[in-house]
Amino acid sequence: MQHLLSMNHLTKQEIENFIKTARTIECDRGTLPMEQTFASNIFLEPSTRTKNSFYIAERRLGMDILDLNGVDSSVTKGETLEDTLKTLEALGVQLAVVRQPETGILQQAAQGLSSLSIINAGDGTGEHPTQSLLDLYTISKEFPSFENLRVTIAGDIKHSRVARSNAYALEKLGAKVSFVAPVPWRDESISTDYITMDEACVQSDVVMLLRIQHERHVIGGQQGDYLQEFGLTKQREQRMKDDAIILHPAPVNRGVEIESSLVECRKSRIFDQMANGVVMRMAIIQTLLKGELAYEYKNYQQQTIS
């Protein structure tokens, strides 16, 4: 595997291998250091968790890091993203982590590359595969199997790359996925299985909340109205299964999609997701550049002991 661009392109086995590799990294609390490897983080949209999570993952792997954004790259001079990636490849960069606003452009850009691996860190309203994989890893630590697991994704489905990536992946793993959204924010190309938030809280093992994406559309009505009709309130949380969990890719709009006190409640795994993001992104990088870590790291340990 050279690139990670879409969850829809991964097989069930490949998804499970990413989860196993992340578990190996977390359990062993170490990794096989890479030889000198250059990573370029190209973030043309704002990011806190994804960008810094990748930076920490890359540093833990001993990589040298080049940071590019829309201000200090030649994109501001009219250079295409495809040419930027070809330039980085020519300079000897092995990995590019890319977030940019145009949906689907990375598929075309990847075709002309031979030695540079691309990780999609979010493309417009397209996909966010690394967020999906860290979400899956978080879920896997709570439940023995994805088979028949009830997962509800609630929020701005139409504009959410997280919803799309998770819908693809969860269905491949055998989960039962439902959605909650106001009618204008539904995307029936993903699913037609829309339920109410009250139904979701009663029947779901996992409730995944999404941020309202203010930057992608004009929002009508009051934010408080959204919480009462489509968000997670204290009353709804009390009706959830005892072992159910709450996820959110963040940033969280407290008091909009979730009542503020629930962000840190017993069922919440929101900050666990962030911690798991570093481990999973290390696993993704290792898999793309070196192959499956679980095998390599065991060999490294044996060599060290002997």
Indicate the annotated binding residues for L-aspartate: 77, 161, 211
Q: Calculate the alpha carbon distances from 112 to 97, 225, 290 in Å.
A: 16, 48, 21
The token duo for 236 is 């709804």
CB 21 within 8 A of CB 272: no
Q: How many other CB atoms are there within 10 angstroms of residue 277's CB atom? A: 27
List the binding residues for carbamoyl phosphate: 49-50, 99, 128, 131, 250-251
- DSSP per residue, 229-290: HHSB-HHHHHTS-TT-EEE--S---BTTTB-GGGTTSTTB-HHHHHHHHHHHHHHHHHHHHH
Which residues on adjacent β-strands are paired with residue 206?
A: 151, 245
Judged by DSSP in three states, 117 sits in: strand
User: Quick count: other Cβ atoms within 10 Å of Cβ 170?
Assistant: 24
Helix (H, G, I), strand (E, B) or coil at 86: helix
Binding residues: 49-50, 77, 99, 128, 131, 161, 211, 250-251
Count other C-beta atoms under 10 Å from residue 12's C-beta.
Answer: 13
Q: Which candidate, 267, 247, 249, 166, places its Cα nearest to that of 212?
A: 249
Alpha helices in the chain (DSSP H): 12-28, 49-60, 81-91, 105-110, 129-140, 161-172, 197-203, 223-230, 234-238, 270-290, 293-305
Q: What is the DSSP letter of 10?
A: S
Q: What's the chain's length in residues?
A: 306
Q: Measured between alpha carbons, how far is residue 33 from residues 21, 30, 68, 184, 286 in Å?
A: 15, 9, 24, 48, 10
